[in-house]
A and B are shown apart, each in its own frame.
Chain A
Amino acid sequence: MKARLGAALRTQNTSLAAVIIVGTIVLAIQSQGGFLAPISIRTFFEFLAIPIIIGLAQMATLAVGQMNLAVGAIGGFASCAAAILVADAGLPGWLGGILAILIGLAAGLVNGLLVVLTQINGFVVTLATMTILAGAQYAMVGTRTIQASAWPELQAIGTAYPLGVPLIFWLALIIAIALAFAYRHTLVARQMLASGGNPLAARLSGISNNRSLVAAHGLSGLLCGVAAFIVLCSLPGSNKSIGGDWLLSSFAAPIIGGVSLVGGTVAVLGTVLAAMVVRLVDSARAAFQLDPSWVNLVIGAVVLGTVALDRVRTRRPSATRGRRRPPADAPPTAALRTVERGAGA
């Protein structure tokens, strides 16, 4: 079972890696090598850090069978709040960076607590908090852009390029590796996976599902906070539009990366690779001078296709990844449908 699981994961990641290699070659040929110049490699990775982190933030909630629609709102709110505290209240820049991360964590924990207390689907709860936070973000900054010159310490991080690759990308990679390690070896992360895979079995084994939910939303919020930190480091300023377009890429990376949508699995490497594929599509869009809505169209279609095929793929026993249970709101399938036919419907 374990070997098969590893093999299946390898195929998913291998195909993603193949897409990345082919895409890179095509883009390199199209730009006559310009795509591989140090400066464009830098830009490529600079704008890859945030998609990776927000993809992982979404993955953390998907792992317990939940969703976090507020990914962009938390990130945008945290970055704007920290920016205002630094620029207007005179806080030191490094403290602003830490505050951005902590605000994200706090927002995530509130989401988790609301989900546990109301017992309502995390989707609707985060829809509400998303609206609230996005409104608060706009109320704070209005039409103003807070210039990044107010926090030179953080900007120094954003303009550091060890080994020719931005430091913020290394940071994203380190976080991804830490998460992969955590999901394999730490108790609380294993408990989250157990709760996501089978809540009843988790409860019978003495795991608190509520605690897993709060922890997962907290982790998701924390990662949104990290994304806000990267925004402060790498972008020339903070304004109301930060986070507005994060939702699609946050879902695209884990879904294309092979994270099961009913909970119970994670795929850190897949998420990172899928984020890279999305970034490549965006680069290609720029290279061929197409309208930005093309990126959404392509990524949306790929996500829809992945979701629709996900079920078909998992029905073939050879490709089964881990245990599966039918989604809570899915109609009863095969077995019961036979009953239906038997009943002469």
Chain B
Amino acid sequence: MKRSTTIGGVVSDNRFGLVVLIAVIVIAIGAIKPMFYSPQFVVGPMLTSIAIFTVVGLAQMVVLSVGQMNLAVGGMAAVGAMVAGIVFQAFDAPLIVGLVVGLAAGGLIGALCGVIIAYGGVNSFVVTLAMSFALLGLVPTVYGWVSVGSAITVQTPGLSDLGRSQLSDVCFGDTCGPDGIPVLLFVTLIAMLVIWFLFSKLRVGREILLTGSNDKAALLSAIPVPRRILTVHTLSGALAALAGFMLGASTGSFTPAIGQEFMLQSFLGPILGGTLLAGGFVSIVGTFLGIALTVVIRQGLLLFGVGLEGLNILLGLILLIALSADRIRHVVGQRARLQATRRSDTMIAEEVTA
């Protein structure tokens, strides 16, 4: 996760900036509309959205880490939720089985994309775009087969506890958690922890990042580049499926509509959080903060009565601004790196003269 200090400085500034921005917005909206702090009506749903969209953002982030994209995050989320729903409905499976099978289904779709990309040598966004089209047709068709009214509603024990309860429902003896913090947030924290561990502690993670920053160099350093590309796409599919599962759990039913609004969010989070589109660098906390910022803005505007259309315009604008910022950061980073090399050159020269 560490890079040279100059770039690290810029990136951590970016995250710090996000925290400040979120705090300012929360205080400003709260000052005008005290309703914003209502744990039941605003904070709870908001944190649930943040929890789900952060996982979506992570699904995109892991693919961005090798400089590729996954346009089928929505479709993979829909498949994950659908498969989990079917397992619950048809086999009365316990919660964990449905979750695991759902994740496996998403991972499998991701792996299929990964195989075509890594071994077929086709551009990642073309493959995932085509996959998203296929899933767009597949998912409603399968729902049509297995359910009446295109939705699977199940009463699996634990599902609504996971998706809809808050910490105030979790009690140890007499002490209960605070109101307004959904249990789903902890699922997200676990996912973030796993991804963080992967990228910062495991060899596989380092290999992925090296693949992203320079695939030829990675290949010449004996890193199995195609296999790592397959890894990230599988991981992305599984994460997307997790997000779809979480959304299904939070609403209580699995429908084909799951994942429809995932794509824009999936890019907003990582890009706002400082993950480079070109690959080679990821920011997990940044992704969380980027998602948090967009969700806070969204929720705040909803409170002011701004309609969905206004939100879309705004989200698009935020993405454009974030893109320009990404570009500026890239240019600044390059310049800083250049200066750093120059400085070290002069230092070496001075040492030699000394």
Contacts and interface: CB of A to CB of B under 8 A. Distances in A.
- The yes or no verdict on A and B being binding partners is yes
Interface size on B, as a range, is 35 or more
Interface string A160-175: 0000000000000000
A302 to B, nearest CB: 9
B123 A343 contact: no
B315 interface: yes
Interface stretch (B51-59, B124-132, B155-163, B184-192): B124-132
Interface string B95-139: 000000000000000000000111011111111011111111111
Interface string B308-331: 111111111101100110110000
B133 A303 contact: yes
Contacts of B339: none
A311 interface: yes
Given A327-B122, A329-B68, A345-B223, A128 B140 contact: no
Nearest to B326: A120
Contacts of B133: 248, 251-252, 296, 299-300, 303-304
B120 A340 contact: no
Given A123-B69, A135-B310, A330 B123 contact: yes
Nearest to A252: B133
B316 A300 contact: no
A340 B126 contact: no
A307 interface: yes
A332 B229 CA distance: 11
Given A119-B327, A136-B309, A139-B313, A125 B130 contact: no
A311 B277 contact: no
B263 interface: yes
A136 to B, nearest CB: 6
Contact of A132 (B122, B222, B277, B313): B313
Contact of A291 (B67, B141, B319): B141
Nearest to A245: B136
B144 A331 contact: no
B122 A330 contact: yes
Contacts of B316: 128-133, 135
Contact of B130 (A128, A138, A291, A307): A307
A308 interface: yes
Nearest to B117: A330
Contact of A128 (B126, B129, B320): B320
B136 A248 contact: yes
Contacts of A117: 324
Contact of B136 (A127, A129, A296, A328): A296
B219 interface: yes
A307 B122 contact: yes
Which residue of A124, A261, A291, A327 has the most chain B CB atoms within 10 A of its CB atom? A124
A132 B226 contact: no
Contacts of B310: 135, 139
A261 B264 contact: no
B216 interface: yes
A330 B121 contact: yes
B222 A294 contact: no
B32 interface: no
B66 to A, nearest CB: 8
A123 B134 CA distance: 19
A127 B71 CA distance: 11
Nearest to A327: B123
Given A67-B125, A332-B215, A340 B222 contact: yes
A300 B136 contact: yes
A270 to B, nearest CB: 17
Contact of B323 (A67, A124, A344): A124
A7 interface: no
B134 A135 contact: no
Nearest to B313: A135
A312 interface: yes
A295 B310 CA distance: 32
A134 interface: yes
A287 interface: no
A309 to B, nearest CB: 9
Contacts of A139: 307, 309-310, 313
Contacts of B354: none
B267 interface: yes
Interface string B210-236: 000001100110111110010000000
B134 A297 contact: yes
Contacts of B123: 261-262, 327-330
Interface string A308-324: 10111000000000000
Interface of B: 67-69, 71, 116-118, 120-127, 129-141, 144, 215-216, 219-220, 222-226, 229, 263-264, 267, 271, 277, 307-317, 319-320, 323-324, 326-327
28 contacts: A120-B326, A121-B125, A127-B319, A128-B316, A131-B315, A132-B317, A134-B312, A136-B309, A138-B309, A251-B129, A291-B144, A293-B141, A293-B144, A297-B141, A299-B133, A299-B137, A300-B134, A304-B127, A307-B130, A327-B122, A329-B124, A330-B123, A331-B118, A332-B215, A336-B219, A337-B219, A339-B219, A340-B222
Interface of A: 67, 114, 117-121, 123-125, 127-139, 142, 248, 251-252, 255, 261-262, 291, 293-301, 303-304, 306-308, 310-312, 326-333, 336-337, 339-340, 343-345
Given A291-B141, A294-B137, A304-B130, 5 more contacts: A124-B319, A129-B316, A138-B308, A261-B123, A307-B130
